[in-house]
Amino acid sequence: METYYEAMLDAVESPTWILRGYSGSFVAVSALGKQKYLHVVYKENDQDDSFIITAFIARKYNRRMIVWSQNS
């Protein structure tokens, strides 16, 4: 995932979707191409303090977990 470092930061800063995660975390999702989505799991302690837990690439995302969409 080292090659996606900038893409991970961009995904958290301006995601296409934000999904509800577990234990108070969120998942920022950004499209990388056709059926290729970067998922960045992060947690916000307050407005100025957040950190990335992990990141992965998947072929789809869970639409039922969307809490925010760029198009809304």
Mean pLDDT of the 52-67 span: 97
Q: How many folded domains does the chain comprise? A: 1
With a CB cutoff of 8 Å and minimum separation 6, the contacts of 37 are: 29, 30, 31, 57, 58, 59, 60, 61
Q: Examine the pLDDT at 1 and tell me if it is beyond 80.
A: yes
- pLDDT for 71 equals 87
Q: 18 and 39 in contact (C-beta within 8 Å)?
A: no
Predicted confidence (pLDDT) per residue in 11-58, tens digit? 999 999 999 999 999 999 999 999 999 999 999 988 788 899 999 999
Query: 16 lies in which domain range?
Result: 2-69
Q: Examine the pLDDT at 72 and tell me if it is beyond 80.
A: no
- pLDDT for 31 equals 95
